[in-house]
Chains A and B, each alone.
Chain A
Amino acid sequence: MTDHQPDDNNSEGLDESRRDFLKHSSLLTAMALTPSTVLKAASSQWDERLAGAFEKISLSLEVNGTKHSLAIEPRVTLLDLLREQLALTGTKKGCDYGQCGACTVHVDGRRVLACMSLAVMQEGRKVTTIEGLAGGDTLHPMQEAFVKHDGLQCGYCTPGQIMSAVACIREGHANSAEEIQEYMSGNLCRCGAYPNIVAAIMEVKKEGKKL
């Protein structure tokens, strides 16, 4: 008996995966040919998995002062929501694993990594991206300082650097070059513009404007 058991399990496994495959393929075919049939099937729970494919969660959040009511899949990150659905491509996808800081945004005033936050976790929160800093054509003081001090070369990390830099001053951690280096350590710049980034932050801090 015990000799047969693994085989039985195997055949069950095959059946299971065949069933899954059929469901997937029926989903793909249906999507290509008759979307209305798929929706009907989903609503009548003819195929739970099919319905699952359409399962989205409602989400209300505020981005740069604009309120959004959306329906999204739970697996969408805040970064992908911003870039792919709200067309706010200023926030960059660097590593996508929380190592580089290019996707830094502010959520309820705190700097966080958009690539490691699910969009659905932001219900009711206020998000500020690089697009939300400038007032029309008037650059934010930190943006001006980055331009003045040449705080970038290729520019890919710059939106994240600037969002972190603004937070760094607000948090009260921009009192010396060493402190700025420590509190900007979550944002990498592979071009090596670090000295100029520090100079830009020190200047904005010195000006003492409310950020």
Chain B
Amino acid sequence: MIPVEFDYKKAISVEEALEALSSGDSKLLAGGYSLIPAMKLRLNQPSMLIDIGGIASLKGIEEEDGQIIIKAGTTHNDILNNDLIKTHLPFFHEAASMIGDVQVRNRGTIGGSLAHADPAADWPALVLVAEATIDVVGTGGKRNIKAADFFTGLFTTALAENEIITAIRIPIPANGSRMVYLKFENPASRFAVVGCAVLRSSDKKTTIAFTGVADYAFRDTAAEQVVSGKILDTNTIADAMNAAVYGVNVLSDNFASEDYRRHLAKVYLKRALQAIA
């Protein structure tokens, strides 16, 4: 299908994009691999697209003050091939390699993925366990949103309509930290039916997040409490599995029923904990 008519503006700076964003029913266009199919299906009918794909300040990966800064317009493929990521955030490297296929990774961006907030996307689980900060700028100024506060619902985030994500700041995990991202993927789309990310420091502080399981990615604080400070032996892992996904409204669809998905989440938590034990 062909999208309904819209105007197109190529922004060359964040300021220019913000100005265009404040007028009417416009949407930002980064890689376009989620937005364009949605527009073809006419699920989304913005009157104007603002192409931010050419804004140089939104691309690149840097290290600064103990943080890795991934600019929002950086593609999955550029994250996959980046040495800073391989060295400091190997599970980001691992997750990038599992996103879609090469064609998708060449165009899709981390900022686009976070703003889109697909319940089965990979990055949300990673930014949650890494306790990342999402830098945004709007006509009202800059904000730094904690990943834990960013995802608020199905395809819904804390971003205001006139705000743009500029960067994702990820604290470099302390020496000796272990980290892993595992997912049970839809074999066709490679979206996560269940994705589980775990980050554990050498003093056993542990963060756990799931994606694909509920309307939006979430930190599983109950499971975190079970394993934090404890040795990851068989009993502790079994306790964490019991505690996990408690009180969560689990998704049910063609790929996995609610019960099966809940079971998968616990199994993937077990495998993730075993992998870093």
Are B8 and A118 in contact, with the CB atoms below 8 A?
Answer: yes
Please name all residues of chain B whose beta carbon is closer than 8 Å to the beta carbon of A62 when the two chains form the complex. Answer: none
Please name all residues of chain B whose beta carbon is closer than 8 Å to the beta carbon of A57 when the two chains form the complex. Answer: 8
Are A74 and B8 in contact, with the CB atoms below 8 A?
Answer: yes
Please name all residues of chain B whose beta carbon is closer than 8 Å to the beta carbon of A203 when the two chains form the complex. Answer: none
Stretch at the interface among B98-106, B163-171, B197-205, B253-261: B98-106
In the bound assembly, the distance between CA atoms of A52 and B102 in angstroms comes to 37
Are B102 and A111 in contact, with the CB atoms below 8 A?
Answer: yes
In the bound assembly, the distance between CA atoms of A103 and B107 in angstroms comes to 14
Tell me whether A20 is interfacial, beta carbon within 8 Å: no
Please name all residues of chain A whose beta carbon is closer than 8 Å to the beta carbon of B104 when the two chains form the complex. Answer: 98, 113, 186
In the bound assembly, the distance between CA atoms of A113 and B189 in angstroms comes to 14
Stretch at the interface among B29-37, B134-142, B209-217: B29-37
Contacts of B1-38 to chain A: CB distance below 8 A: 1-8, 10, 29, 32-33, 36-37
**Residue from A55, A101, A111, A118 within 8 A of B106 (CB atoms):** A111
Tell me whether A116 is interfacial, beta carbon within 8 Å: yes
Tell me whether A164 is interfacial, beta carbon within 8 Å: yes
Please name all residues of chain A whose beta carbon is closer than 8 Å to the beta carbon of B7 when the two chains form the complex. Answer: 55, 74
Are B3 and A75 in contact, with the CB atoms below 8 A?
Answer: yes
**Residue from A97, A113, A121, A167 within 8 A of B53 (CB atoms):** A121
Residue ID in chain A nearest B37 by CB atoms: A97
Tell me whether B160 is interfacial, beta carbon within 8 Å: no
Number of A-B contacts (CB under 8 A): 79
Tell me whether B128 is interfacial, beta carbon within 8 Å: no
**Residue from A75, A99, A120 within 8 A of B4 (CB atoms):** A75
Contacts of A177-209 to chain B: CB distance below 8 A: 183, 185-187
Contacts of A46-62 to chain B: CB distance below 8 A: 52-53, 55, 57
Assess A101 versus B8: contact at CB under 8 Å? Given A116-B32, A116-B107, A121-B51.
no
Are A112 and B5 in contact, with the CB atoms below 8 A?
Answer: no
In the bound assembly, the distance between CA atoms of A174 and B9 in angstroms comes to 39
Please name all residues of chain A whose beta carbon is closer than 8 Å to the beta carbon of B2 when the two chains form the complex. Answer: 75, 80
Interface string of A87-114 (1 = CB under 8 A from B): 0000000001111010010000011110
Interface string of B66-79 (1 = CB under 8 A from A): 00000000000100
Residue ID in chain B nearest A95 by CB atoms: B37
Please name all residues of chain A whose beta carbon is closer than 8 Å to the beta carbon of B188 when the two chains form the complex. Answer: 99
- Least Cβ distance of B71 to chain A in Å? 18
**Residue from B5, B6, B36 within 8 A of A77 (CB atoms):** B36
Tell me whether A123 is interfacial, beta carbon within 8 Å: yes
Please name all residues of chain A whose beta carbon is closer than 8 Å to the beta carbon of B3 when the two chains form the complex. Answer: 75
Please name all residues of chain B whose beta carbon is closer than 8 Å to the beta carbon of A98 when the two chains form the complex. Answer: 33, 37, 103-104
Interface string of A157-188 (1 = CB under 8 A from B): 00000001001100101000000000101110
In the bound assembly, the distance between CA atoms of A55 and B32 in angstroms comes to 22
- Which residue numbers of A lie inside 8 Å of B, CB to CB? 52-53, 55, 57, 73-75, 77, 80, 96-99, 101, 104, 110-113, 116-118, 120-121, 123, 164, 167-168, 171, 173, 183, 185-187
27 A-B pairs in the complex with CB atoms less than 8 angstroms apart? A52-B5, A53-B5, A74-B7, A74-B49, A75-B2, A75-B3, A75-B4, A101-B103, A104-B103, A110-B77, A111-B106, A113-B33, A116-B33, A117-B107, A118-B8, A118-B49, A120-B8, A120-B10, A121-B29, A121-B51, A123-B10, A167-B102, A171-B102, A185-B190, A186-B102, A186-B103, A186-B104
13 more contacts with CB within 8 A, not counting A98-B104, A104-B103, A185-B101, are: A73-B5, A74-B5, A74-B6, A74-B8, A75-B2, A98-B103, A99-B188, A101-B103, A111-B103, A112-B106, A116-B37, A120-B8, A186-B104
